[in-house]
């Protein structure tokens, strides 16, 4: 079974409990249709488990097949610098069916982010090191497609339905020493 080779760290975007008993790491691509389908599933699991679950998103842009994957990753990192990573993240997946540069700028405007600064960030690939580090960490961990999930450092085997992913999370919670 594959394990997460790069531990969750300060550079990661996290949502949920700081001292959660379970951490769910997703390697994803903003243009991947399966990642868009998985996003509401992850959100529902976040609601179900609350502070007992920490969710981490790492970039795995498949640029050979998804022309907007890299610019979308850059846009979320730019938004993260302004404290609204997850707002941009969720908005991109919610509107993935019309993903384009215009959409990224429209979302930035909705989030009251500078569209000029976003354009500069994308044009200069200002977050390429973070995005590339996520990607390389994914490759080292055996990621070869998106979405790929790790539950407490172990690769989730199976689909990303609420039932399947929820079972992996519940098993990890049941096995956690702090679950008592």
pLDDT tens digit string along 40-73?
999 999 999 999 999 999 999 999 999 999 999 9
Residue 82 predicted with pLDDT over 90: yes
pLDDT of residue 135: 98
Model confidence band, residue 121 (pLDDT cutoffs 50, 70, 90): very high
Angle at CA of residue 173, ends 167 and 177, nearest 5°: 155
pLDDT of residue 177: 75
Query: What's the whole-model pTM score?
Result: 0.96
Model confidence band, residue 180 (pLDDT cutoffs 50, 70, 90): very low
Residue 141 predicted with pLDDT over 90: yes
Residue 26: HSE in the Cβ half-sphere, 13 Å Cα cutoff = 26
Query: Quick one: average pLDDT of 77-95?
Result: 98
Measured torsion, CA atoms of residues 105, 87, 128, 13, in degrees rounded to the nearest 10: 170
Residue 78 predicted with pLDDT over 90: yes
Residue 26: Cβ-neighbour burial (10 angstroms; 0-12, 13-18, 19+): buried
pLDDT of residue 178: 62
pLDDT tens digit string along 21-31?
999 999 999 99
Percent of residues, the chain, with pLDDT higher than 90: 96
Residue 16 predicted with pLDDT over 60: yes
């Amino acid at each position: 079974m594959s394990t997460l080779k790069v531990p969750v760290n300060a550079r990661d975007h996290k949502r949920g409990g700081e001292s959660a008993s379970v951490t769910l790491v997703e390697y994803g691509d903003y243009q991947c249709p399966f990642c868009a389908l998985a996003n509401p599933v992850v959100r529902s699991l976040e609601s179900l488990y609350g502070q007992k679950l920490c969710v981490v998103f790492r970039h795995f842009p498949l640029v050979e097949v998804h022309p907007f994957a890299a610019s979308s990753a850059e846009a979320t990192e730019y938004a993260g610098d302004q404290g609204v990573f997850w707002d941009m993240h969720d908005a991109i997946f919610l509107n993935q069916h019309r993903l384009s540069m215009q959409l990224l700028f429209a979302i930035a405007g909705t989030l009251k982010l500078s569209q000029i600064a976003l354009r500069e960030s994308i044009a200069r690939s200002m977050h390429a090191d973070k995005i590339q580090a996520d990607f390389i960490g994914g490759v080292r961990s055996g990621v070869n497609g998106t979405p790929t999930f790790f539950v407490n450092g172990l690769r989730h085997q199976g689909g990303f339905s609420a039932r399947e992913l929820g079972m992996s999370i519940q098993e990890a919670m049941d096995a956690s020493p702090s679950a008592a």
